Structure 1
Amino acid sequence: MASLILDDLVIEQGQQRLLSLDTTIAPGEVLTIMGPSGVGKSTLLAFIAGFLSPAFRARGRVKLDEKRIDMLPAEQRHVGLLFQDPLLFPHLDVEGNLAFGMVREGSRQQRCARIHEALRSVGLETFAKRDPATLSGGQKARVALLRVLLSQPRAILLDEPFSKLDAGLRDEIRHWVFERVRHYRLPTLMVTHDEADARAAGGRIITFDDGCRVTS
């Protein structure tokens, strides 16, 4: 049960400051960041996850509880990242996709059991051997989040996670994602353009405009 601490973070591109943020996200809390394209929202997530492009510069510290993680390689940060596209591997079946990011603990049989229990929990128990190309948008979204959760993250980052879903699925998948975030007590940072996403998250909302924090 960790808090995600963003300690005096500043994201810059060249001489331009994009945004700055100083806050703590509690276990199970969803903090939403909103603002126009180009303000640095996705760049902020990339910095936290360890994938910051050389075109940007970041200052400040990222901590899970009191352990600083921004100096660690991405694979050691234990931060899960969910994008607007599911990004499932087309050459792997559903089971292979879920196994890809798992911590190699226990036997192969035990890991398979965890995968099948995860699929059962979301109504996809018969989908282990399915080709991802045959899945619906909602099914792909479920598999993508299960892959993140099975990697045993200590925090979750959501980058416009519902924007590619049709209107009929959006409410259902939002509810499903936020329910699991709270169940697993994961501090979660979401960036979105959609006010409905922010309302559904039920947490604090911070809006940026040209690098200025305008609401909280």
Structure 2
Amino acid sequence: MAGLRLEGLRITRAGVPLVALEAEIAPGEVLSVMGPSGSGKSTLLSAIMGTLAPSFAMTGLVWLDGCEITRQPPEARRVGILYQEELLFPHLSVGGNLAFGLPRAVRGRAARAARVAAALAEVGLAGFADRDPATLSGGQKARVALMRMLLAEPLALLLDEPFSRLDAGLRAQVREMVFARARARGLPVLLVTHDAADAAAAGGCVVELG
């Protein structure tokens, strides 16, 4: 079954219930999870990524495109994530950052450079491969982070309030760019946010924690 499915997902800490969620996200659709700080939004993403801290306990299953990934290591899950900060590598060029996301199956310097160039062109950054990430604007950094994640060919996308640090005008632009590319690639998207405008822009269902 295509998409991301959370089957009876329950997360506790020291025996205290924190998150309980049953959800199905079809390819190209967005599920928004809202709640105040401390309600378990980021913990939910960690459970899906496979990076849940040992202080938490989880039951239930995580399915992606018909495969159960609950116990797979994070690097095998093919789940992409965008955070509040772009987390670009400062010691790599823009092109180097993008190349880092490429699968190992893409071999040869020319082939990898072509993928990077195409990704930059897709988001209006053609010719930026040799730029230092420190010279980019906030919107440009957000676009590079998005394409680095997409070049890794994920099967699902998690959004950990990636728009919260952008000003209002840029926020709307980056938000639409992210959702449009997720739809074009048929990726199920889970957005966690405390901002109702982000959830409204995403469309789809909204779940409130806490």
Q: What TM-score range do you get, normalising by the shorter chain? A: over 0.9
The corresponding residue for 2:6 is 6
Query: What is the aligned residue count?
Result: 209
The corresponding residue for 2:142 is 141
The corresponding residue for 2:121 is 120
The corresponding residue for 1:24 is 24
The corresponding residue for 1:151 is 152
Asked if residue 187 in structure 1 is aligned to residue 188 in structure 2, the reply is yes
Q: CA deviation at 1:54?
A: 1.4
For residue 19 of structure 1, give the secondary structure of its aligned residue in structure 2. strand
Contact 2:99 2:116 in 1 (8 A): yes
Q: CA deviation at 1:199?
A: 0.4
The corresponding residue for 1:33 is 33
- Aligned partners of 1:33, 1:155: CA distance in 2, in Å? 15
Q: What runs of 5+ residues in structure 1 fail to find an aligned partner? A: 210-216
Amino acid at match of 2:84: Q
* CA distances 1:78-99 after superposition (whole Å, capped 9, x unpaired): 0001101000000001011111
- Aligned partners of 1:66, 1:184: CA distance in 2, in Å? 17
For residue 128 of structure 2, give the secondary structure of its aligned residue in structure 1. coil
- Aligned partners of 2:15, 2:131: CA distance in 1, in Å? 49
Contact 2:2 2:66 in 1 (8 A): no
Q: CA deviation at 1:11?
A: 1.1
Q: 1:115 to 1:2 in 2, by over 3 A?
A: farther
For residue 92 of structure 2, give the secondary structure of its aligned residue in structure 1. coil
Per the normalisation by structure 2, the TM-score is 0.97
RMSD of Structure 2 on Structure 1 (CA): 1.1
- Aligned partners of 1:37, 1:158: CA distance in 2, in Å? 15
